[in-house]
Amino acid sequence: MTAAEAPSARGSVRRVTAEGLPFLRARRPALRRLTAWSLLEFAQTFVGGFAVARALDDGFLSGAPATGMLWLAVSAVAVVPAFLAQRGVFAALADLVEPLRDGLVRRSAARALATDPGHPGATTGAVSQVTHQSEIARDGWAGLVLAVRGFVFTAAAALAGLAALSPLLLVVVVPPLLAGIGLFLATLAPMGARQRAYLDADEDFAAHAGRTAASLRDIAAAGAAGPVGERARELAAAQTGAARSLARWSAVRILALAVGERLPPLLLLATAPWLLGRGLTTGELVGAFTYLTTSLGPALNALLAALGTAGGRLLVVLDRFTGPVTLPPDPDPGPHPDPASSPDPAPAPDPGPGTVPGARAPAPAPLAELRSVSFAYGPHARPVLDRLDLRLRPGDHLAVVGPSGSGKSTLAAVLAGLALPTAGEVRWLGRPTAEAEPTAVRTLLPQRPYVFTGTLRDNLRYLSPHAPDRELLAAVTAIGFGALAERLGGLDAVLDPRLLSQGERQLVALGRAHVATAPLLVLDEATSHLDPGAEARAERALAARADTLVVIAHRLASARRAARVLVMDGTRTAYGTPDELPARSAFFRELTGLRSPAPEPSPPPSPAPESAPASAPPSPADLAHRPR
């Protein structure tokens, strides 16, 4: 067990124990009834081995078969009250089990009623707890009570019987029994941690599969099958690793069961000559074997099986009920200032007549946000994105420029939710991406768009299946491929992708993006095969259509048209308006062919890095690639 897993496992045990002990103290009458009925089983177990020993020594081996049969009859009669006790045991068990389930249901319902129903997951989590998890707790608690009760009274009766036959038998039986139990108890915390890790890995894989199934159109349209498949392989590998770790600890449990259940009879056989030489009779030896094989061994097996399965599940489920409610925070109604950033130096737009001079309207909440995001293609690879912070608000038009391999396309995939960051968090509309429907938030167009064999209408409706024809025709006009549509034969024309050039495919995909209603539009060099005029027209049309536009630019003209530009050059980044960046980024100056700005008459005492010059501090929506 790792250092991180140990506190988590101990914390779960402490939380469950803290609430479980008062629950048991409040049900002492039920526990007393359960104990009273279990004493009948204690008597049956004690009589079983002792009667066999007496039947042999005092009866059959002494030439008195009637005495032997009488002792066996006593053993048989002792089974009858023990059998009747089962009814009383289950009646008392119901008084322990049903209140637990009822209490968990009440707690879950109270939490759901006290939680803001606007939170995603508030209702679905409560339904799962009421209908599924409470039943798991009920069945696990019942199985655990029966197993513990059975072992305690059976083991006590068997050990008392062994002591009554000969105290030397305890010397042989007790050490391996305690060793097996101790070894098993030592596996409880690691097994709980491994079981939790396996459940988490299984849930992560299932969640990824669900998101993938819901986004198949986007994945195909964006050409993102590679990153999505790679993420699926990573999650499958994590699940396999967790399953293997769980299996290894399960093998340790098998060893503990062998030590506690199988080793005592073997030691009894090995030490039989020594025991017989010290006064143990043949009947007492057979009676000891009876205790071990018919009572103590099966009870230990049932206890370890219950602790390993029902106990583990019970601990995990009860921890979910006793732990605090964790729900995503509400989206902030106003700006999200970065503590490391200073106010935006850019002048605020004229608010218009009737506004108090100097007052600034609150900025809208971020549409998309990257918080300390890092991404690397492998556990030991150099990060492509390194602790990147970025905020995009409604109305933003951002261009991303940089050399090949600087991480522009990776940024697009992470921002669109098609590649999960290796560190940090991506949020849409103030919430984690996993809690949003991707197609309702963003549209991503790659450099090689997906155009399929079908009508032009079907291709334009690919992301908006119910869009009316007037919207399709408006998109054709706005993007500027009316001549192409007319040459192809209109909306009813059947497209053959093999007969379209790369530029024509991009025009169809851009029209598809214009029809889509997602507020965030990301173009990953999606206009690279268009001429500059067609590119400018398409970008302006999409900027007017989408709430927020991000353009991974291959031409500098795209950067000049944007309100803000992000320059990516390895781990060095710069962010600002096209007019501000020549003073901030040497790479941007190289792209634009501008010379370095003239030095200030009174330079600051210590020069600021290119990504945040002292003359123009970044705004709250700025980006930072933090140094290590």
pLDDT attached to residue 313: 63
Domain check: are 389 and 502 in the same one? yes
Domain check: are 374 and 302 in the same one? no
Q: Is residue 330 part of a domain?
A: no
Q: Where are the beta strands (DSSP E) in 532-622?
A: 548-552, 564-569, 572-576
Measured distance CA(384)–CA(378) in Å, rounded: 11
CATH number at residue 553: 3.40.50.300
pLDDT attached to residue 269: 92
pLDDT attached to residue 111: 61
Pick from 322, 338, 360: which residue ends a domain? 322
Domain check: are 116 and 241 in the same one? yes
pLDDT attached to residue 165: 93
pLDDT attached to residue 443: 87
pLDDT attached to residue 517: 77
Measured distance CA(239)–CA(198) in Å, rounded: 6
Domain check: are 410 and 282 in the same one? no
Domain check: are 67 and 157 in the same one? yes
pLDDT attached to residue 114: 55
Domain check: are 94 and 205 in the same one? yes
Domain check: are 455 and 542 in the same one? yes
pLDDT attached to residue 67: 93
Token reading at 170: 């305890």
Measured distance CA(151)–CA(160) in Å, rounded: 14
Secondary structure class of 495 (helix, strand, coil): strand
Domain check: are 562 and 496 in the same one? yes
Each as own residue / partner, the long-range contacts of residues 227-236 (CB below 8 Å, 24 or more positions apart, any chain) are: 227/413, 227/418, 227/419, 228/418, 231/419, 231/420, 232/205, 232/208, 235/201, 235/204, 235/205, 235/208, 236/205
Q: Is residue 336 part of a domain?
A: no
pLDDT attached to residue 343: 36
Task: Show the domain range for 448.
Answer: 368-595+609-625
pLDDT attached to residue 464: 85
Domain check: are 416 and 500 in the same one? yes
pLDDT attached to residue 179: 93
Measured distance CA(393)–CA(373) in Å, rounded: 18
Q: Is residue 356 part of a domain?
A: no
Q: Is residue 197 part of a domain?
A: yes
CATH number at residue 25: 1.20.1560.10
Measuring CA to CA, how many Å separate 93 from each of 73, 192, 382, 530?
31, 26, 59, 76
Q: Is residue 379 part of a domain?
A: yes
Q: Is residue 113 part of a domain?
A: yes
Domain check: are 414 and 316 in the same one? no
Domain check: are 36 and 160 in the same one? yes
Q: What is the mean pLDDT of each run of 10 residues along the chain (628 residues)?
A: 47 63 79 84 87 92 92 86 76 78 69 50 48 68 82 91 93 92 84 76 77 73 77 88 87 87 92 92 93 90 76 64 47 36 39 40 72 82 84 88 81 86 87 81 84 89 87 91 89 88 90 87 86 88 87 82 84 80 78 55 41 36 41
Pick from 285, 307, 322: which residue ends a domain? 322
Task: Determine how many CB atoms are found less than 10 A away from the CB of residue 244.
Answer: 11
The residues, any chain, with a CB within 8 Å of residue 211's CB and separated by 6 or more, are: 417, 434, 438
pLDDT attached to residue 584: 79
Question: Are 566 and 392 contacting, i.e. CB atoms less than 8 angstroms apart?
Answer: no
Q: How many domains does the chain have?
A: 2
Q: Is residue 164 part of a domain?
A: yes
Q: Where are the beta strands (DSSP E) in 486-543?
A: 494-495, 520-524
Token pair 């999606």 is found at 526
Q: Is residue 337 part of a domain?
A: no
